[in-house]
Protein backbone atom coordinates (compact mmCIF):
# COMPACT_ATOMS: atom_id res chain seq x y z
CA UNK A 1 0.00 0.00 0.00
CA UNK A 2 1.32 3.44 -0.84
CA UNK A 3 0.27 6.59 0.94
CA UNK A 4 -2.45 8.00 -1.30
CA UNK A 5 -5.86 8.50 0.28
CA UNK A 6 -7.54 6.50 -2.49
CA UNK A 7 -5.92 3.40 -0.96
CA UNK A 8 -8.69 3.36 1.63
CA UNK A 9 -10.97 2.23 -1.17
CA UNK A 10 -8.61 -0.70 -1.76
CA UNK A 11 -8.73 -1.59 1.92
CA UNK A 12 -12.50 -1.33 1.95
CA UNK A 13 -12.69 -3.65 -1.08
CA UNK A 14 -10.28 -6.10 0.56
CA UNK A 15 -12.37 -6.34 3.73
CA UNK A 16 -15.59 -6.38 1.74
CA UNK A 17 -14.26 -9.23 -0.41
CA UNK A 18 -13.87 -11.51 2.58
CA UNK A 19 -16.85 -10.32 4.61
CA UNK A 20 -19.07 -13.25 3.66
CA UNK A 21 -16.70 -16.05 4.58
CA UNK A 22 -18.55 -18.68 6.57
CA UNK A 23 -17.17 -19.75 9.93
CA UNK A 24 -14.78 -22.68 9.68
CA UNK A 25 -16.44 -25.83 11.02
CA UNK A 26 -14.46 -27.83 13.57
CA UNK A 27 -13.77 -31.57 13.33
CA UNK A 28 -16.80 -33.27 14.83
CA UNK A 29 -14.83 -36.45 15.50
CA UNK A 30 -12.01 -34.83 17.50
CA UNK A 31 -12.20 -34.45 21.25
CA UNK A 32 -11.04 -30.88 21.73
CA UNK A 33 -11.59 -31.12 25.47
CA UNK A 34 -8.23 -32.91 25.56
CA UNK A 35 -6.55 -29.58 24.89
CA UNK A 36 -5.46 -27.64 28.00
CA UNK A 37 -8.25 -25.88 29.89
CA UNK A 38 -5.98 -22.87 30.13
CA UNK A 39 -6.07 -22.54 26.34
CA UNK A 40 -9.88 -22.51 26.34
CA UNK A 41 -9.76 -19.72 28.94
CA UNK A 42 -7.20 -17.73 26.92
CA UNK A 43 -9.25 -18.05 23.74
CA UNK A 44 -12.30 -16.90 25.72
CA UNK A 45 -10.35 -13.79 26.76
CA UNK A 46 -9.46 -13.13 23.13
CA UNK A 47 -13.07 -13.81 22.13
CA UNK A 48 -14.15 -11.04 24.46
CA UNK A 49 -11.51 -8.68 23.11
CA UNK A 50 -12.55 -9.32 19.51
CA UNK A 51 -16.19 -8.50 20.30
CA UNK A 52 -16.06 -4.71 20.73
CA UNK A 53 -14.73 -1.73 18.82
CA UNK A 54 -17.83 -0.25 17.17
CA UNK A 55 -17.39 3.26 18.63
CA UNK A 56 -14.23 3.91 16.68
CA UNK A 57 -16.16 3.79 13.40
CA UNK A 58 -18.46 6.66 14.40
CA UNK A 59 -15.46 8.66 15.51
CA UNK A 60 -13.71 8.03 12.16
CA UNK A 61 -16.83 9.16 10.29
CA UNK A 62 -16.81 12.48 12.13
CA UNK A 63 -13.05 12.93 12.16
CA UNK A 64 -11.38 15.76 10.31
CA UNK A 65 -7.90 14.29 10.58
CA UNK A 66 -5.82 14.58 7.43
CA UNK A 67 -5.19 11.49 5.32
CA UNK A 68 -8.57 9.83 5.77
CA UNK A 69 -11.85 10.00 3.89
CA UNK A 70 -15.24 8.29 3.84
CA UNK A 71 -13.65 5.17 2.39
CA UNK A 72 -11.48 4.90 5.48
CA UNK A 73 -14.55 4.89 7.74
CA UNK A 74 -16.17 2.25 5.53
CA UNK A 75 -13.01 0.13 5.64
CA UNK A 76 -12.85 0.56 9.42
CA UNK A 77 -16.46 -0.54 9.73
CA UNK A 78 -15.70 -3.70 7.74
CA UNK A 79 -12.57 -4.26 9.82
CA UNK A 80 -14.67 -4.17 13.01
CA UNK A 81 -17.08 -6.67 11.44
CA UNK A 82 -14.15 -8.93 10.63
CA UNK A 83 -13.05 -8.79 14.26
CA UNK A 84 -16.58 -9.75 15.27
CA UNK A 85 -16.31 -12.72 12.93
CA UNK A 86 -13.13 -13.66 14.81
CA UNK A 87 -15.11 -13.45 18.04
CA UNK A 88 -17.75 -15.80 16.65
CA UNK A 89 -15.11 -18.18 15.37
CA UNK A 90 -13.32 -18.21 18.71
CA UNK A 91 -16.61 -18.77 20.52
CA UNK A 92 -17.06 -21.99 18.52
CA UNK A 93 -13.53 -23.08 19.49
CA UNK A 94 -14.03 -22.30 23.18
CA UNK A 95 -17.30 -24.26 23.32
CA UNK A 96 -15.80 -27.23 21.48
CA UNK A 97 -12.97 -27.24 24.03
CA UNK A 98 -15.45 -27.38 26.87
CA UNK A 99 -14.61 -23.85 28.00
CA UNK A 100 -16.91 -21.03 28.98
CA UNK A 101 -17.29 -17.68 27.30
CA UNK A 102 -16.50 -14.65 29.44
CA UNK A 103 -18.60 -11.57 30.08
CA UNK A 104 -15.70 -9.60 31.52
CA UNK A 105 -11.97 -9.87 32.00
CA UNK A 106 -9.39 -7.43 33.33
CA UNK A 107 -7.27 -7.34 30.15
CA UNK A 108 -10.34 -6.83 27.96
CA UNK A 109 -11.41 -3.97 30.25
CA UNK A 110 -7.91 -2.51 30.02
CA UNK A 111 -8.10 -2.71 26.24
CA UNK A 112 -11.49 -0.97 26.15
CA UNK A 113 -10.23 1.68 28.58
CA UNK A 114 -7.24 2.36 26.34
CA UNK A 115 -9.39 2.58 23.25
CA UNK A 116 -11.72 5.11 24.87
CA UNK A 117 -8.98 7.20 26.43
CA UNK A 118 -8.35 9.86 23.82
CA UNK A 119 -8.73 10.61 20.12
CA UNK A 120 -8.85 8.50 17.03
CA UNK A 121 -5.08 8.32 16.64
CA UNK A 122 -4.60 6.77 20.07
CA UNK A 123 -7.52 4.40 19.52
CA UNK A 124 -5.89 3.12 16.35
CA UNK A 125 -2.57 2.82 18.18
CA UNK A 126 -4.28 0.65 20.80
CA UNK A 127 -5.91 -1.41 18.05
CA UNK A 128 -2.50 -1.84 16.43
CA UNK A 129 -1.13 -3.14 19.73
CA UNK A 130 -4.06 -5.57 19.89
CA UNK A 131 -3.16 -6.83 16.42
CA UNK A 132 0.38 -7.60 17.58
CA UNK A 133 -1.02 -9.37 20.64
CA UNK A 134 -3.36 -11.46 18.48
CA UNK A 135 -0.73 -12.21 15.86
CA UNK A 136 1.78 -13.40 18.43
CA UNK A 137 -0.63 -15.41 20.51
CA UNK A 138 -2.59 -17.10 17.72
CA UNK A 139 0.55 -17.89 15.80
CA UNK A 140 2.47 -19.24 18.78
CA UNK A 141 -0.45 -21.40 19.87
CA UNK A 142 -0.87 -22.71 16.31
CA UNK A 143 2.72 -23.93 16.33
CA UNK A 144 1.97 -26.08 19.37
CA UNK A 145 -1.27 -27.68 18.19
CA UNK A 146 -1.51 -30.88 16.17
CA UNK A 147 -3.14 -30.60 12.73
CA UNK A 148 -6.80 -29.81 13.42
CA UNK A 149 -9.45 -27.25 12.58
CA UNK A 150 -8.68 -25.11 15.64
CA UNK A 151 -5.17 -24.73 14.33
CA UNK A 152 -6.55 -23.91 10.86
CA UNK A 153 -8.83 -21.35 12.48
CA UNK A 154 -5.97 -19.68 14.34
CA UNK A 155 -3.88 -19.54 11.17
CA UNK A 156 -6.76 -17.92 9.32
CA UNK A 157 -6.99 -15.34 12.12
CA UNK A 158 -3.24 -14.77 11.80
CA UNK A 159 -3.72 -13.96 8.11
CA UNK A 160 -6.51 -11.52 8.90
CA UNK A 161 -4.64 -9.87 11.78
CA UNK A 162 -1.66 -9.43 9.52
CA UNK A 163 -3.67 -7.31 7.10
CA UNK A 164 -5.25 -5.46 10.05
CA UNK A 165 -1.75 -4.58 11.22
CA UNK A 166 -0.93 -3.14 7.81
CA UNK A 167 -4.26 -1.29 7.69
CA UNK A 168 -3.66 0.47 11.02
CA UNK A 169 -0.04 1.18 10.08
CA UNK A 170 -1.24 2.85 6.87
CA UNK A 171 -3.40 5.16 8.99
CA UNK A 172 -0.66 5.92 11.51
CA UNK A 173 1.89 6.49 8.76
CA UNK A 174 -0.31 9.30 7.43
CA UNK A 175 -0.66 10.76 10.94
CA UNK A 176 3.07 10.65 11.75
CA UNK A 177 3.85 13.32 9.20
CA UNK A 178 6.17 15.56 11.24
CA UNK A 179 9.36 14.76 13.18
CA UNK A 180 7.56 15.54 16.45
CA UNK A 181 4.69 13.19 15.67
CA UNK A 182 7.09 10.49 14.55
CA UNK A 183 8.96 10.76 17.84
CA UNK A 184 5.67 10.75 19.73
CA UNK A 185 4.53 7.66 17.86
CA UNK A 186 7.77 5.82 18.54
CA UNK A 187 7.73 6.62 22.27
CA UNK A 188 4.01 5.81 22.67
CA UNK A 189 4.26 2.65 20.61
CA UNK A 190 7.22 1.25 22.51
CA UNK A 191 5.70 2.08 25.89
CA UNK A 192 2.39 0.56 24.88
CA UNK A 193 4.08 -2.56 23.54
CA UNK A 194 6.07 -2.97 26.75
CA UNK A 195 2.89 -2.77 28.86
CA UNK A 196 0.92 -5.01 26.50
CA UNK A 197 3.67 -7.63 26.56
CA UNK A 198 3.63 -7.71 30.35
CA UNK A 199 -0.16 -8.04 30.39
CA UNK A 200 -0.10 -10.97 27.95
CA UNK A 201 2.65 -12.74 29.88
CA UNK A 202 0.71 -12.37 33.14
CA UNK A 203 -2.81 -13.09 31.91
CA UNK A 204 -1.89 -16.05 29.70
CA UNK A 205 0.97 -17.49 31.73
CA UNK A 206 -0.79 -20.80 32.33
CA UNK A 207 -1.50 -21.31 28.65
CA UNK A 208 2.06 -20.45 27.70
CA UNK A 209 3.29 -22.91 30.32
CA UNK A 210 0.86 -25.68 29.34
CA UNK A 211 1.79 -25.38 25.67
CA UNK A 212 5.52 -25.23 26.45
CA UNK A 213 5.84 -21.79 24.94
CA UNK A 214 8.98 -20.30 26.42
CA UNK A 215 9.54 -16.63 27.11
CA UNK A 216 12.17 -16.54 24.37
CA UNK A 217 9.68 -17.86 21.78
CA UNK A 218 7.21 -15.18 22.82
CA UNK A 219 9.86 -12.48 22.79
CA UNK A 220 11.03 -13.41 19.28
CA UNK A 221 7.54 -13.14 17.83
CA UNK A 222 6.77 -10.02 19.85
CA UNK A 223 9.91 -8.19 18.70
CA UNK A 224 9.32 -9.31 15.14
CA UNK A 225 5.84 -7.81 14.90
CA UNK A 226 6.66 -4.77 17.01
CA UNK A 227 9.49 -3.82 14.67
CA UNK A 228 7.43 -4.69 11.61
CA UNK A 229 4.71 -2.24 12.70
CA UNK A 230 7.26 0.42 13.55
CA UNK A 231 8.93 0.07 10.17
CA UNK A 232 5.57 0.23 8.40
CA UNK A 233 4.74 3.52 10.13
CA UNK A 234 8.12 5.22 10.27
CA UNK A 235 9.83 3.66 7.28
CA UNK A 236 13.20 3.13 8.91
CA UNK A 237 16.22 3.40 6.62
CA UNK A 238 16.31 0.54 4.16
CA UNK A 239 19.58 -0.94 5.39
CA UNK A 240 18.49 -0.87 9.02
CA UNK A 241 15.09 -2.39 8.37
CA UNK A 242 16.55 -5.09 6.16
CA UNK A 243 19.06 -6.05 8.82
CA UNK A 244 16.36 -6.09 11.48
CA UNK A 245 14.08 -8.27 9.37
CA UNK A 246 16.93 -10.66 8.68
CA UNK A 247 17.82 -10.82 12.36
CA UNK A 248 14.24 -11.40 13.42
CA UNK A 249 13.62 -13.93 10.65
CA UNK A 250 16.66 -15.85 11.80
CA UNK A 251 15.36 -15.74 15.36
CA UNK A 252 11.97 -17.03 14.24
CA UNK A 253 13.58 -19.87 12.33
CA UNK A 254 15.20 -21.02 15.56
CA UNK A 255 11.86 -21.51 17.29
CA UNK A 256 11.34 -25.23 17.13
CA UNK A 257 7.93 -25.49 15.50
CA UNK A 258 7.47 -22.05 14.00
CA UNK A 259 8.87 -23.17 10.67
CA UNK A 260 6.02 -25.62 10.21
CA UNK A 261 3.45 -22.91 9.51
CA UNK A 262 3.22 -20.27 6.84
CA UNK A 263 5.09 -17.11 7.70
CA UNK A 264 3.13 -13.97 6.83
CA UNK A 265 4.94 -11.64 4.47
CA UNK A 266 5.80 -8.52 6.41
CA UNK A 267 7.12 -6.46 3.55
FE1 LIG B 1 -9.03 -10.40 15.43
FE1 LIG C 1 -7.36 -7.69 14.09
- In terms of Cα–Cα distance, which of 241, 253, 57, 260 is closest to 155? 260
| Ion ligand 1 neighbours, Cβ < 5 Å | 50, 83, 86
Whether residue 55 contacts residue 111, with contact meaning beta carbons closer than 8 Å, is answered with no
Q: What's the CA-to-centroid distance between 86 and ligand 1, angstroms?
A: 5
Sign of CA dihedral 194, 38, 160, 140: positive
pTM score, whole prediction: 0.83
Q: What's the CA-to-centroid distance between 69 and ligand 1, angstroms?
A: 24
Q: What is the pLDDT of residue 236?
A: 67
Q: What is the pLDDT of residue 175?
A: 92
Whether residue 265 contacts residue 163, with contact meaning beta carbons closer than 8 Å, is answered with no
Whether residue 125 contacts residue 193, with contact meaning beta carbons closer than 8 Å, is answered with no
Q: What is the pLDDT of residue 4?
A: 56
Q: What's the CA-to-centroid distance between 157 and ligand 1, angstroms?
A: 6
Among 1.10.620.20, 3.30.479.10, 3.40.190.10, 3.30.70.20, name the CATH number for the domain at 7-260: 1.10.620.20
Nearest-ligand number for the alpha carbon of 138: 1
Domain ranges in the chain are 7-260
Nearest-ligand number for the alpha carbon of 132: 2
Whether residue 234 contacts residue 255, with contact meaning beta carbons closer than 8 Å, is answered with no
Q: What's the CA-to-centroid distance between 146 and ligand 2, angstroms?
A: 24
Ranges of the chain whose pLDDT falls below 70: 1-6, 110-117, 236-267
Nearest-ligand number for the alpha carbon of 15: 2
Q: What is the pLDDT of residue 109?
A: 73
Q: What is the pLDDT of residue 114?
A: 59
Q: What angle do CA 175, 163, 158 make, to 5 degrees?
A: 135
Q: What is the pLDDT of residue 235?
A: 85
Nearest-ligand number for the alpha carbon of 49: 1
Amino acid sequence: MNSSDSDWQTWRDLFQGRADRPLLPLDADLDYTQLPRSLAHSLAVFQLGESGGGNVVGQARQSRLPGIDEHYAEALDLFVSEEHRHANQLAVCVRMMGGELLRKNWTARLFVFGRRLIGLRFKILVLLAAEVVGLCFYRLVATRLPPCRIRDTLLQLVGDEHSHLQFHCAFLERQAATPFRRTLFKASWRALMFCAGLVVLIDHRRTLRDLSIEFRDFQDFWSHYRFAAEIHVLGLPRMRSTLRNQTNSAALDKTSDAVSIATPDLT
